[in-house]
Amino acid sequence: MEQHLVPSAEGADYLVELSNVVRQTSIGPRGPRSLHRLALVLRALTELTGDSDVSVYLVADTSLLGGHREFGDPAEVRRLRGWVADGLVEEVDDADERILDLARMTGTRVVTGDQYVDHRVEHPWIQGNTWQFLRPEPRPDGSVAVVPMDMGVRTEAEISYRMELAALKKQGLLGPARTPLTEVIMRNWRCPEPRCTLYDVHRGDRVLLPRMRRGVPTCELHGTSLTDEGPRPAAAQLKVVIDRTCVARYTLDEGSEAHVGRLPGPEGIALHSLLSPEVAAQVSRRHVAVSARGGTVLVRDVSTYGTRMRRAGRRGAPGPWETLPPGSDRSFRPGDEVELAPGVVLTRSGRRFPAELADAWRTEAGGIAVPPTAAAPTRRV
């Protein structure tokens, strides 16, 4: 295999996400990790290109060798360590991010089985890409083919969902059954270092999730055990989308209720300044009430003119519009849309309450539109 490995991405015919290939159990021998799967991929690339000297640049997570006991053959571990020492494998904390940076800069094709859904905000060029990514696929005879992978266009809700889960995984906050550790996520934490504000909801602009180290919530900066400060305040983000453009964002706190409409009053979300006079005439002063209770967001029609709602489908595609029964609370999940008037939509971002996130991890398969305008203002209600 060594004859195909090069020490520079610029000199490679293909980029290979080694961690993904080594762990792809649908090809090669049994077991969670096998370097023989790379040999099968190299053979497939040779067949695809007709070039017996086809070259690849390998990128791997540090966790690949960190889990060396999952390799069936200790000789493979020694061989892989030798490649790292010789500069034939670039070992990084996040192979996904490195591979995508290299692919964007060089235009080189990537061999992987990953759809990179959680990286599509910072790498929007992945959306709709049908040529740059190749997936290893097993053949009946045990050999492997590498075939172009259509990356598709995913909804904003799924991107946010996958980004949330990736953040939990990075912090060690996924349990043995690959479900979030809600008993940690739903608590508020404080670093014993007096000047540290990374986890302080009162002093920090952005509150981080704790990192689990040996089963203990730990400060990312100081490495000290965090102190439990009680339940974490929950929040959901609402977005106002007018003519398919996000024009404003608002944060809804747990236990609160906000009326949304033309001029709902000082505690509500007023849309009057965002609407043309013709459209504003079709929106009630108080059109819908949105509340957050027990980690669930609810929406209720309180309008004169009526309200429609459609659910986000399993793969992110919207379902049919349905009329909201007046005065009845309905669950309002990430990706759902509530239409107040033609072209005026209230929706939720993909970011979930911790309780929603845990449930979604167990039940959703996921389904990406390019995220709306990032510069839209945010206000807490």
Same domain, 14 and 141: yes
Domain boundary among 148, 171, 205: 148
For residue 289, the 8-state DSSP code is E
Same domain, 134 and 257: no
Q: Which domain holds residue 214?
A: 156-231
What is the C-alpha to C-alpha distance for residues 93 and 86, in angstroms, rounded to an integer?
18
Q: Is residue 359 part of a domain?
A: no
Question: Do 7 and 129 lie in a common domain?
Answer: yes
The string of pLDDT tens digits covering residues 191-214 is 999 888 777 655 544 457 788 888
Number of domains the chain contains? 3
Q: Are 7 and 61 members of one domain?
A: yes
Residues 253 and 330 reside in one and the same domain: yes
Same domain, 14 and 131: yes
For the stretch 241-292, pLDDT in tens is 898 887 887 878 778 899 999 999 887 889 999 999 999 999 999 999 999 8
The structure tokens listed for 325 are 């029964």
What b/e readout covers 338-374, taking b as 16+ CB neighbours within 10 angstroms? Answer: bbbbeebbbbbbbbbbbbbbbbbbeeeebbbeebbee
Both 84 and 142 in one domain: the answer is yes
Query: Do 75 and 203 sit in the same domain of this protein?
Result: no
* Conformation bin of residue 184: beta by default, left when phi > 0, alpha when psi is -120 to 50: alpha
Residues 331 and 308 in one domain: yes
| Angle value at C-alpha 232, between 230 and 233, nearest 5 degrees | 125
pLDDT digits (tens, 9 = 90+) for 323-345: 999 999 999 987 789 999 999 99
249 and 289 in a single domain? The answer is yes
Task: Judge if 123 and 177 occupy the same domain.
Answer: no
